């Protein structure tokens, strides 16, 4: 099953590689990973999307907690959460495709952020599935390039991850 883990860790050199190294050394999967500092400059926050059985996720969580720099780990799946990912997608936009592309972007609430005679670059935000759906919906042949940030997530309502 797919899980989305939120991790608070010390904002120190090498901390990220420790987390990534843990996944590779123990043969766990990383589907996506995003990381950046938080409002507290001494802390980074990481979101890791992974998949595995409940036992595997339990081990991942415990092993992450064991890392000295890791302050807190939560599995966002355990309660309601919001998830967002951003994608920049560059598509060929010529002739009648140009109109069609604009319409598609609108439907998915995307924004065209760069325009040339032959291309559009569209910014899209949403769940990973939504971004995937967009790719599915457009003609493969017109996609020139995509770049995705990977998911980041946050608990709904009052629930916060803080120290």
Partner 1 sequence: MQISGAEILVRCLQEEGVEFVFGYPGGAVLEIYDAIFRQDKFKHVLVRHEQAAVHAADAFSRSSDKVGVALVTSGPGATNAVTGIATAYLDSIPLVVISGQVATPAIGLDAFQEVDMVGITRPCVKHNFLVKDVNDLAATIKKAFYIAQSGRPGPVVVDIPKDVTQHRAEFHYPDSVHIRSYVPATRGHSGQIKKAVNLLLEAKRPFIYVGGGAVQGRAEAEVTELVRMLGVPCTNTLMGLGAYPGSDSQFLGMPGMHGTYEANMAMQHCDVLVAVGARFDDRVISVPSHFLSRPKKIIHIDVDPSSISKRVKADIPIVGDVKLVLRDMLEQLKQSGGKPDAAALAQWWKQVEAWRGHNCLLYTPSDELIKPQAVVQTLYEVTGGQAIVTSDVGQHQMWAAQYYKFDRPKQWLNSGGLGTMGFGLPAAIGAQLANPNAQVACITGEGSIQMNIQELSTAKQYHTPVKVLALNNRYLGMVRQWQEFFYGTRYSESYMDALPDFVKIAEAYGHIGFKVENPSDVEPVLREAFSDKLKERLVFIDFRTDQSENVFPMIQNGKGLDEMDLPPHMRDIQQVPFENNRDYGNMC
Least separation in angstroms between residue 77's CB and partner 1 is 19
Residue closest to 137 by CA, chosen among 163, 94, 95, 106:
106
Residues 67-126 that bind partner 1 (CB under 8 A): 68-71
23 binds partner 1 (CB under 8 A): no
Residues 39-58 that bind partner 1 (CB under 8 A): 55, 58
**CB burial readout 144-163, b (16+ within 10 A) else e:** eeeebbbbbbebeeeeebee
Asked whether the CA dihedral 128, 134, 137, 138 is positive or negative, the reply is negative
- DSSP sequence for 112-148: EEEE-SSEEEEEEEE-HHHHHHHHHHS-GGGEEEEEE
The one among 3, 4, 5, 9 contacting partner 1 by CB under 8 A: 9
30 binds partner 1 (CB under 8 A): no
**Span near partner 1 by CB under 8 A; candidates 62-70, 78-86, 128-136, 140-148:** 62-70
**Span near partner 1 by CB under 8 A; candidates 15-23, 83-91, 95-103, 114-122:** 15-23
Q: Tell me the C-alpha to C-alpha distance, in Å, between residue 2 and each of 40, 49, 84, 128.
A: 29, 7, 15, 12
**Span near partner 1 by CB under 8 A; candidates 18-26, 33-41, 119-127, 138-146:** 18-26
Q: Which residues bind partner 1 (CB under 8 A)?
A: 9-10, 13-14, 17-18, 21, 25, 55, 58-59, 62-63, 65-66, 68-71, 163
């Amino acid at each position: 099953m797919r899980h989305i883990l939120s991790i608070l860790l010390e904002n120190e050199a090498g901390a990220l590689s420790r987390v990534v190294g843990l996944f590779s050394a123990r043969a766990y999967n990383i589907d996506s990973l995003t990381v950046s500092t938080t409002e507290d400059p001494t802390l980074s926050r990481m979101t890791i999307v992974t998949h595995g059985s409940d036992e595997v996720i339990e081990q991942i969580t415990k092993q992450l907690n064991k890392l000295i720099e890791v302050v807190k780990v939560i599995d966002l799946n355990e309660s309601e959460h919001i998830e967002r990912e951003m994608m920049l997608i560059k598509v060929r936009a010529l002739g009648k495709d140009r109109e069609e592309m604009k319409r598609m972007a609108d439907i998915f609430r995307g924004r065209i952020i760069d325009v040339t005679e032959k291309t559009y670059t569209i910014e899209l935000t949403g769940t990973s599935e939504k971004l995937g759906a967009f790719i599915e919906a457009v003609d493969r042949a017109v996609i020139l390039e995509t770049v995705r940030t990977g998911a980041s997530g946050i608990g709904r309502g009052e629930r916060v991850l803080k120290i």
